Structure 1
């Protein structure tokens, strides 16, 4: 074998080796391309799914905002129908706060309030600021208070021991009012000894006789207020009757005693 043949064989072997390396590189590049394409397709499908979920969540959040706005408008209108001048002069529903004035707290997909965007803690520990209360909870609390103001008749009735004490309570308030009335009438009938003018004496007597008129029912509004605030109950017809009974008996006895001394 000549030198030329040997060189030719070396060149053919080198060409075959380069060809194999080229084919291996092409195969590796093809596999990498297919893997990357499959990975990109998976990422794209996952991104599309997340976009659909985000659109669905945004729609649910918008519906929740509309529900909260409608409930707030209903409660505001309900509050305006409550008793009192201050309630009727509330006016229209206030405009919602601007985005800049609202706290920078993101909504989570489970409906709860997330931590602030600046990363500050929002826990319930001793040193942590209070966690944001959901709007539905705030509206429920407001609805309970408004119902308590507008419809106090929905409260439970008075217990039995309170009904038994109402005649004594009415008698006590009637006695106090009757004694005040007797004092006013007495002061009005002796203006010379008290330094009161004729007009002042007439006014005192008028106030005294007016107090005598309201003495039997003086315990009714006080009993209703005590039942409302202390017992979380309502003063029904039976309670009003028992309070009036005690007040009328005491007022009659005071009137007879006052008439006997004149």
Structure 2
């Protein structure tokens, strides 16, 4: 079948129209893709700016928290030195923070909560500490008796070693009933956060006197 020039011309025009439409479609798709890519980049830039602003705010908050914690720790340290009296002078300046490399990998407790707990303990110490629980009284009695018995035994041993030993033994024997006061005070402070009241002190001295008499008297 012979193709006429007119038919051939119409076919070429149709192909040209089809190619033109494909070209326009490709240009439209490329423009849309470019717009989408630009919008994505703009969105990422905005998100990055927001992240930087948030990180800066968190860093500033952390710096303020560190400064407040340092000030509170310094004030508590000064109060502790005042409460301890003459012994507080040996505490020196506020100790520095522990390096992160020396800290355990466990989560660190809230510094504000730790400072509040320290402030409560210092306040209790300023007002005399907690009351001694009744169950500790037998322990204090036994502690006073044990310390006095040990000192009395040492005194008896020293008295058998010449004049100087006799003198040292008598001095140790005189102080034997009081020897349980120091460990009892440390026990009450470290274990119960309390101070010895006059009744507890009298109980410890009584136990020391009885133990001293039991060791020295035949």
What TM-score, normalized by structure 2, do the two folds share? 0.60
User: Any conservation in 2 of the 1:158–1:235 contact (CA below 8 Å)?
Assistant: no
User: Which one has the bigger strand percentage?
Assistant: 1
Establish whether residue 140 from structure 1 lines up as the match of residue 140 from structure 2. Answer: no
Per-residue CA deviation, residues 128-184 of structure 1 (Å, 9 max, x unaligned), is: xx52442646x939x76xx58x94952440424725972x76567656656765776
Match of 2:137 in 1: 162
Q: Measure the CA separation in 2 of the matches of 1:210 and 1:69.
A: 49
User: Any conservation in 2 of the 1:163–1:239 contact (CA below 8 Å)?
Assistant: no
User: Any conservation in 2 of the 1:158–1:234 contact (CA below 8 Å)?
Assistant: no
What TM-score, normalized by structure 1, do the two folds share? 0.53
User: Any conservation in 2 of the 1:216–1:244 contact (CA below 8 Å)?
Assistant: yes
Q: Measure the CA separation in 2 of the matches of 1:238 and 1:60.
A: 51
Q: By how many angstroms is 1:241 displaced?
A: 1.7
Q: Measure the CA separation in 1 of the matches of 2:144 and 2:97.
A: 49
Gaps of 5+ in 1: 104-112, 114-129, 188-193
Match of 2:60 in 1: 59
User: Any conservation in 2 of the 1:68–1:135 contact (CA below 8 Å)?
Assistant: no
Cα pair distance change 1:102/1:239, threshold 3 Å: closer
Gaps of 5+ in 2: none
Match of 1:30 in 2: 31
Match of 1:242 in 2: 203
Match of 2:89 in 1: 88
Q: Measure the CA separation in 1 of the matches of 2:93 and 2:67.
A: 18
Q: Measure the CA separation in 2 of the matches of 1:26 and 1:160.
A: 91
User: Which one has the bigger helix percentage?
Assistant: 2
- CA RMSD in angstroms comes to 4.9
User: Any conservation in 1 of the 2:140–2:184 contact (CA below 8 Å)?
Assistant: no
The alignment covers a number of residue pairs equal to 210
Q: Measure the CA separation in 2 of the matches of 1:243 and 1:234.
A: 13
